[in-house]
Amino acid sequence: MSVNCDNCTTLGYEAAKTTLNLFVAGTDTSSSTVEWAIAELIRHPQLLKQAQEEMDNVVGRDRLVNESDLGQLTFLQAIVKETFRLHPSTPLSLPRIASESCEIDGYYIPKGSTLLVNVWAIARDPNMWMDPLEFQPTRFMPGGEKPDVDVRGNDFGVIPFGAGRRICVGINLGLRMVQLLIATLVQTFDWELANGLVPEKLNMDEAYGLTLQKVEPLMVHPKPRLAPDVYERC
């Protein structure tokens, strides 16, 4: 058996480039989503308390939450969905180019046009959502307005990862990472704002770019809420 070393080098380079793209593309988007979620929970302490109570009931206080627990944390999943809705990590998704001329909903789109999907505006459309500017995870809970919404591209009201054939290839990794990070931060710490700032005064202004960042980074003091030996087993 012969091996073409040139092909091996090319394939290895492409694999490394793809892997690097997955991690780089998922860094800012995941970290900004987690930051927005914690900021919203600090602004709504009753929601943080409810999430911590769910965590204590499902996971307990003698071990850290792990990936296998996520399916049972329905309120935490609702928090993640609401964060994706109100603060989408890529507010204009990624550019698309029309491969053929077409007409959509009365609009003529010439071949070669660059198209941007305003994910941010869709998720705040009052025709689609009740109180769209309010952070209300219960809208995704049983009995809420949209309890069955799926953020994996099947419900166009919330498409943080895009949709269709060009959906984010890292969707499963990104979703799990965000869920587990938020779950861990909720379970293990109580949160206080730095410099004596009260939650009502927390700046929630958005800085627009490829990713949706806070204008002022979140500055907090974490306070452990579990026994010291739990953290030592990390």
Give me the domains of the chain, ranges plus CATH numbers.
5-90+161-232 (1.10.630.10)
Q: Using an 8 Å Cβ cutoff, are 174 and 52 in contact?
A: no
Beta partners for 224?
189
**pLDDT recorded at residue 3:** 42
Q: Checking DSSP bridges between strand 189-193 and strand 220-224, what pairing results, if any?
A: antiparallel
Q: What is the CA radius of gyration of the chain?
A: 20
CB atoms within 10 A of CB 73: 23
What DSSP character marks residue 130?
Answer: S
**pLDDT recorded at residue 169:** 82
**pLDDT recorded at residue 201:** 92
Task: Evaluate if residue 106 carries a pLDDT over 50.
Answer: yes
Angstrom distance (rounded) from CA 217 to CA 212: 12
Which residue from 77, 20, 30 is spatially nearest to 174, judged by alpha carbons? Answer: 30
Which residue from 125, 179, 178 is spatially nearest to 156, judged by alpha carbons? Answer: 125
**pLDDT recorded at residue 27:** 60
Q: Which residues, 6 or more positions from 58, have their beta carbon under 8 angstroms from its beta carbon? A: 69, 72, 73
If you average pLDDT over residues 194-210, what whole number do you get? 88
**pLDDT recorded at residue 22:** 53
Angle 66-88-90 from CA coordinates, rounded to 5°: 110
Q: Using an 8 Å Cβ cutoff, are 59 and 151 in contact?
A: no
Which residue from 40, 39, 67 is spatially nearest to 177, judged by alpha carbons? Answer: 67
If you average pLDDT over residues 81-109, what whole number do you get? 92
Instruction: Give me the half-sphere count of Cα atoms (radius 13 Å) on the Cβ side of residue 200.
Output: 0
Question: How would residue 69 be classed by pLDDT, with cut points 50, 70 and 90?
Answer: very high
Q: Using an 8 Å Cβ cutoff, are 97 and 115 in contact?
A: yes
**pLDDT recorded at residue 43:** 96
Report the percent of the chain where pLDDT is more than 90: 66
